[in-house]
Amino acid sequence: MKRKILVTGGAGYIGSHTVVELQEAGFEVVIVDNLSNSYDSVLDNIKEITGIKPRFYHFDLTDAERTKDFFAEENDIAGVIHFAALKAVGESMQKSVLYYKNNIFSLLNVLEGMKMSGLDNLVFSSSCTVYGQPDTLPVTEQAPIKKAYSPYGHTKQIAEEIIQNVSSLDGLHAILLRYFNPIGAHPSAKIGELPLGVPNNLVPFITQTAIGIREELKVFGNDYDTPDGTAIRDYIHVVDLAKAHVVALRRMLENKQKEKLEVFNLGTGNGFSVLEVIQAFEKVSKQKLNYRIVGRRPGDTEKVWAATKLANEELGWKARKNLFEMMESAWNWELALKKRNS
């Protein structure tokens, strides 16, 4: 019998790619999502890739009673991957209470439901944002957690602490995955990132500019202490990231964890500047991008990339796809979206 996995936020960008990988690895998936940043059409798109439409519950995980009912109904879940969260750094500065409420209440309700069901395997979406600007690079999992710049980043730090405490007091088994910068889309171009409104993140802004939705890309700052002056990030293909969740889940289900609570960075270990990302895009799309250098974006980190030793050696996972493959899949997704909407 297939083991059943709850994927909260499974209609979203990283969630939908993870659902595909889980199904392809032989798991049964149940999604809970309130569609606050996604569409239920993604369920059909997943089916087009895997042949299986995941079961879907449409509700808000901040609703404690509804979440309890869900766990009572679905009483044979083997593990939970908790993606559901609001994630826009800029918006979180304007709507801080909403971010704390959404991201923390939903986590607490999931933890309560898991406890109620005697379920103790949790994979949690954390972020490299918890490190801020690290003192040493590449950043290891032991690097100090710096004061968060945004309420969004703070919710990830608080969530990590809550999970750590619940794990040490209550026996919860958990893996915290700290993602670096996920980009790109599934090679089928049937699922990808669907930013609502103007994208905050670099790569959707690049592809939307190239396709004519945005007039120009503003490059935020070229006076950083980096080789070309633009900021450096560790971009990781979303499919590589999705696969890491399957590996993490199996590790828990097969009782291979070394500690009840484990933390892994998920990145490639390579840093690329904004200009290098643009160049890679221009190469794969065979077109020039309209961009302009402007001032720095407040709160931006200068440079960060992951130490990947722990994920590679202990988790047994490694990112495989390079920057060109990331940019090519992002561009194919943008082209597919245009076709779909025309």
By CB under 6 A, residue 217 contacts ligand WQD = yes
Spatial distance between the Cα atoms of 153 and 176, rounded to a whole number of angstroms: 15
> Which residue's structure tokens are 């995955």?
177
Contact residue for ligand NAD among 138, 182, 192, 204 (CB under 6 A) = 182
Which of 66, 46, 50 is CA-nearest to residue 58? 66
**Contacts with 254 (C-beta within 8 Å, 6 or more apart), sequence order:** none
Distance, CA of 134 to CA of 49 (rounded, Å): 39
When the beta carbons of 34 and 226 are compared against ligand NAD, the nearer one is 34
Question: Bridge-partner residues for 32, per DSSP?
Answer: 8, 57
By beta-carbon proximity to ligand WQD, the closer residue of 155 and 308 is 155
* CB 86 within 8 Å of CB 107: no
Count of Cβ atoms closer than 10 Å to residue 70 Cβ: 21
Taking CB under 6 A as the criterion, the residue among 3, 25, 35, 301 binding ligand NAD is 35
Kindly name the residue from 149, 152, 179, 235 that is annotated as catalytic. Answer: 152
Task: Work out whether 23 is an interface residue with ligand NAD (CB under 6 A).
Answer: no
Contact in structure between 106 and 62 (CB atoms under 8 Å) = yes
Q: What are phi and psi of 22, to 5 degrees?
A: -65, -45
Each residue 88-107 as x (binds ligand NAD by CB under 6 A) or -, in order, gives --------------x---x-
- Residue 29 contacts residue 23 (beta carbons within 8 Å): yes
Least distance to ligand WQD from the beta carbon of 10, Å? 17
Which residue, 68 or 293, has its beta carbon nearer to ligand NAD?
68
Does 138 sit behind a cis peptide bond, omega within 30 degrees of 0 on the bond before it? yes
Q: Binds 217, which of ligand NAD, ligand WQD, none (CB < 5 to 8 A, cut-off by type)? A: ligand WQD
Q: How far is the CB of 123 from ligand NAD (least distance, A)?
A: 11
With contact defined as beta carbons under 8 Å apart, do 327 and 280 qualify? yes
**Whether residue 152 lies in the annotated active site:** yes
Q: What's the CA gap between 103 and 87, in Å, rounded?
A: 9
Q: Which stretch binds ligand NAD (CB under 6 A): 27-35, 283-291, 311-319, 332-340?
A: 27-35
The verdict on whether omega for the bond into residue 134 sits within 30 degrees of 0, i.e. cis, is: no
Residue from the set 70, 99, 205, 305 that interacts with ligand WQD by CB under 6 A = 205
d(CA 232, CA 276): 9
- For the segment 5-64, give every residue that binds ligand WQD (CB under 6 A): none
DSSP codes of every residue in 163-209:
HHHHHHHH--EEEEEEE-EEE---TTSSS----SSS--SHHHHHHHH
**What distance in Å separates the CA atoms of residue 280 and residue 277, rounded to the nearest whole number?**
5
CB of 182 to ligand NAD, least distance (A): 5
CA distance 50 to 21: 9
Asked if 85 is part of the footprint of ligand NAD (rule: CB under 6 A), the reply reads yes
- Out of 6, 7, 12, 113, name the contact with ligand NAD by CB under 6 A: 12
Q: How far is the CB of 321 from ligand WQD (least distance, A)?
A: 17
Q: How far is the CB of 313 from ligand WQD (least distance, A)?
A: 25
By the rule CB under 6 A, 9 interacts with ligand NAD: yes
Q: Is 219 in the site for ligand WQD (CB under 6 A)?
A: yes
Active site amino acids: 152
Residue ranges in contact with ligand NAD by CB under 6 A: 9, 11-15, 32-38, 60-62, 83-87, 102, 106, 125, 127, 179, 181-182
Contacts with ligand WQD by CB under 6 A lie at 87, 89, 127, 129, 153, 181, 200-202, 205, 217-220, 231, 233, 274, 297, 300
